[in-house]
Structure 1
Amino acid sequence: MTKNYFPASENKLFDAGGGLTRKVAAHDKNVMCVEVHFETGTVAALHHHPHEQITYVISGKFEFTVGDKTYVVGPGDSLYKQPDIVHGATCLEAGTLLDIFTPHREDFL
């Protein structure tokens, strides 16, 4: 059965370590929304995965590497990461990102 409503009070905060926490919000097998919180200086190491990903910056300032390019981004900026592209980030000023994945990240559930 498809779930259509994901109240914030039911979204558990997961401590991924190193100054990074996340909450999985609305999701189904084809798409997933994740709120990610970074403390200043937190590094999301370079990695890749088979999912397409869009990152929207809600707050803070970040340096993102996507493939062979690096971008400094802030509130309102967004990034697209195609499947299997190497990417990572360093948080320059504490903030929050909204990540959208397709298909969903089974490893986040």
Structure 2
Amino acid sequence: MCRGCLDLVVIIEPGDAEWVVVNEKVRRKVFSSGNLMFVIYDLDPGAEVPLHQHPEEQAGFIVKGEVEIYTDTTRRVLKEGSWYHFEPNEPHGGRVVGSQKALVVDVFTPPKKEFLEPSRK
């Protein structure tokens, strides 16, 4: 690695963003830089994101727990270590299944503008 190259890298520590309360069962932290956005979701049992769509491409990873991911044509329960992907404008939603909390990381490109305000850019 070249001397000083680390100056070109953005490093974000866990404490660099505050949890934003979306509702009583959903909290998120948003990290955004350039054309990518990372969102960490802390989800209580029973938390649900209803079927919706948006112009951003989205991929996600189940860190902890079990989450049922669905589109308008299919449903599938994903467990720790599972990945998913949605094309822009593809209707999708999800809900926590079981009695344990879930931790999910989503990546959006381009960043979701409505999530940028409460984040540290």
TM-score between both structures, scaled by the size of structure 2 = 0.83
Distance 1:31 1:66 in 2: 23
Deviation (angstroms), 1:67: 3.8
Q: What secondary structure is seen at the aligned counterpart in 1 of 2:15?
A: helix
TM-score between both structures, scaled by the size of structure 1 = 0.91
Q: What secondary structure is seen at the aligned counterpart in 2 of 1:37?
A: strand
For these two proteins, the number of residue pairs brought into alignment is 107
**Contact persistence 1:66–1:81 (CA under 8 A):** no
- Are 1:74 and 2:74 matched, yes or no? no
The structure with the largest strand share of the pair is 1
Aligned to 1:50: 55
Ranges in structure 1 where 5+ consecutive residues have no aligned partner: none
Deviation (angstroms), 1:90: 1.1
Ranges in structure 2 where 5+ consecutive residues have no aligned partner: 1-7, 117-121
Matched AA of 1:23: K
> Which is greater in Rg?
2
Distance 2:24 2:110 in 1: 26
Alpha-carbon RMSD across the aligned residues, in angstroms, is 1.5
Aligned to 1:108: 115
Range with bigger deviation, 65-74 or 47-56: 65-74
Counterpart pick for 1:9 among 6, 12, 15: 15
Matched AA of 1:59: K
Deviation (angstroms), 1:3: 7.4
Deviation (angstroms), 1:4: 1.1
Q: 1:36-61: per-residue Cα shift (whole Å, max 9, x none)?
A: 11100011111100000001000000
Q: What secondary structure is seen at the aligned counterpart in 2 of 1:32?
A: strand
Aligned to 1:24: 30
Q: What secondary structure is seen at the aligned counterpart in 2 of 1:85?
A: coil
- CA change 1:45–1:18 in 2 (3 A) is farther
Runs of 4 or more, structure 1, over 6 Å off, are none
Matched AA of 1:46: L
Deviation (angstroms), 1:72: 0.4
Matched AA of 1:6: I
